[in-house]
Amino acid sequence: MKNKIVFILVVLLIVSVGFSKPSEATEIEFFHTFWVPEHLELLEGAIERYEEENPGINISETRVSWTDAPSQLMTSIMGGLPPDIVVANPSMVAQFRAQGAFAEITDMIPEDLKNMFLGTAMDIMTNQEGEIDGVGAHGANWALFYRKDLFEEAGLDPESPPENWEELLEYGELLTKDTNNDGNIDQWGYGWPVQAENATDYWENFLWQAGSEVIAYENGEWVPKFTEEEAIKGTQFMVDLVREYKISPVGLVDMDWEDVTNGFLEGDFAMMYNGAWVVDAVHDKGPELEGKWGTAPLYAGPAGRINRGHPNTFHILEASNVKQEAWEFLEFLYTEGRDDELSYVDEISVLSGALNWTDEFLEYAYENFDDLLMPFVTSYESARSPTMAPQWQNLADMYGVIAVQEMLMGDAEVEETLKTLNEQAEKMH
C-alpha cells in the first residue's frame, strides 16, 4: 500500500510539472520616433536577433512622430501605462527630467561604454544632480554652407569662408546683390531658418557665440540671463544682420530649414547655417551644383567658435519594472551590429545622415565621411546642446518665437524685448 501511494504521488508530480503554466516572458515596451523604412528594417532586425539570443524577452514597439512624441509619452505616463525605453530630443529631456520620469542609470553603464560618449552628449545625458539618466544616440551638428561659385563672382576666395562675425559681415555685404538690376535684392549674403520653433533654436546660437548662458542652473534654480550684456550683444548682432547690414532678408521669419536650403540651391543665399543632414539634401536636389558649394565650421563670435549640437537620447523610465532588462537591450544596440565595424546605433546615425556621439563613431567618421561632412565631424568639439531648463520650450513657444520674429521685422526693440522675456522666464522657473 505504501509503495502504491508513493507511485501515485510521483505520477501526480510528473503530471503537474508537465502541465504547469510556463513562466511569462519579460515584455519591454520601446517608444520611439523611427519611421524611415531603412531605420525600421535595421531596428526590427536588431530586435529579432536580440529576442532569439535572449529567450523570454519580448520587445514591442510604439512608433510616434517627433511632433506627437511629448504629448503621447505624457499621456502614457499619466494613464499608468508608461513604456520602458523612450527616444527623446533635448526639449523632451528637459521636460520629462524635471518631472522625474527618467531612471538614473549611472551604475548600470559599464565604464568603457560610459567613457565613449563625447562632451555634448554627456551634457544631455547628465542631470542637474550629476547622475546619468540617458545615453546619447543619433543627432546632428550644425555648420556653415557656402556657394563657391557665388564667392568667386564676388571676388572672394572660394576656399576661405568667413572665420568670425566681422568677416561674415564683410563677405555678406559683397554677396548681397540685385543681380537683375530691378531695384530689388535677389541674392542675399546669409540665411538661417526662423520659421516657428527655428526662431529660438537658432537664436540660441547667437547668444552662445556672444558668451551668454541663456538660462543657467545656479544654486538649485534655473536663472534666465536675457538681460545680461552678452545676451543683448548676441541678439543685437542677429537683428542687425537683417535690419542694419541687410545681408539677410526679413522673409527668413517664414522659412524653415528646407526653405533656406532651397534658397541656397537657387542662389538666393550665398551662405546658410544648417544641419548635417542638409548635405544629402543639397546633393540630391542640386546635382548640377556639384563642386560649386562647400561646407565649413561655423564662424566664431566674441566667445569663440560655438555651433549647435543636437544629440537625441535613449532613456529608461523610472516607472519601468524591467529596468535591468531594458538596459541590457540598449547595451546590445550600442555594442552589437550587422557587421564588425558599426553598432546598430552607429548605423542608424549613418542612415539618418547624422552622427552618433561616441569617440568610436568619431573615429569611423574621420575615416569614412566625405569632405563635405568633415566640418560637421570637427564641429563635435565646438558643439553645444540646447539649454536643459525645463520651461525653455514653453517659454520659446509662448513668447520666444514671436519675440525673435518681431525683432527681426523691426516691430520690437532688442533690450526691451529681452527684458520682457527675462521677466516671463523668471515667472516660469
pLDDT average, residue stretch 116-135: 93
Give the pLDDT mean for 296-303.
Answer: 98
Do the domains 26-139+310-384 and 141-308+388-428 sit in the same CATH topology, yes or no? yes
Q: Which CATH architecture does the domain made up of 26-139+310-384 adopt? A: 3-Layer(aba) Sandwich (3.40)
* Mean pLDDT score, 169-178: 98
pLDDT of residue 266: 97
- According to the model, what pLDDT value does residue 137 have? 87
- Categorize the per-residue pLDDT at 88 as very low, low, confident or very high, splitting at 50, 70 and 90: very high
CATH superfamily of 141-308+388-428: Periplasmic binding protein-like II (3.40.190.10)
| 329-386 residue pLDDT tens | 999 999 999 988 899 999 998 887 778 889 999 999 999 999 999 999 999 889 999 9
Q: Map out the domains of the chain as residue ranges.
A: 26-139+310-384, 141-308+388-428
- What is the chain's Cα-based Rg? 26
Q: What percent of the chain has pLDDT over 70?
A: 95
**Per-residue buried b or exposed e for 135-150, using 16+ beta carbons within 10 Å of the residue's own CB:** bbbbbbbbbbbbbbeb
Q: pTM for the whole thing?
A: 0.90
294/17: higher pLDDT:
294
Residue-wise pLDDT tens digits, 34-72: 888 999 999 999 999 999 999 999 999 999 998 899 999
Residues 6+ apart with CB under 8 A from 414: 232, 235, 236, 239, 407
Residues 184-196, mean pLDDT to the nearest whole number:
97
What confidence tier does 23 reach under pLDDT thresholds 50, 70, 90? low
Residue 11: all three cell numbers together: 505520477
**25: buried, middle or exposed (CB in 10 Å: 19+, 13-18, 0-12)?**
exposed
7: pLDDT confidence band, cut at 50, 70 and 90?
very low
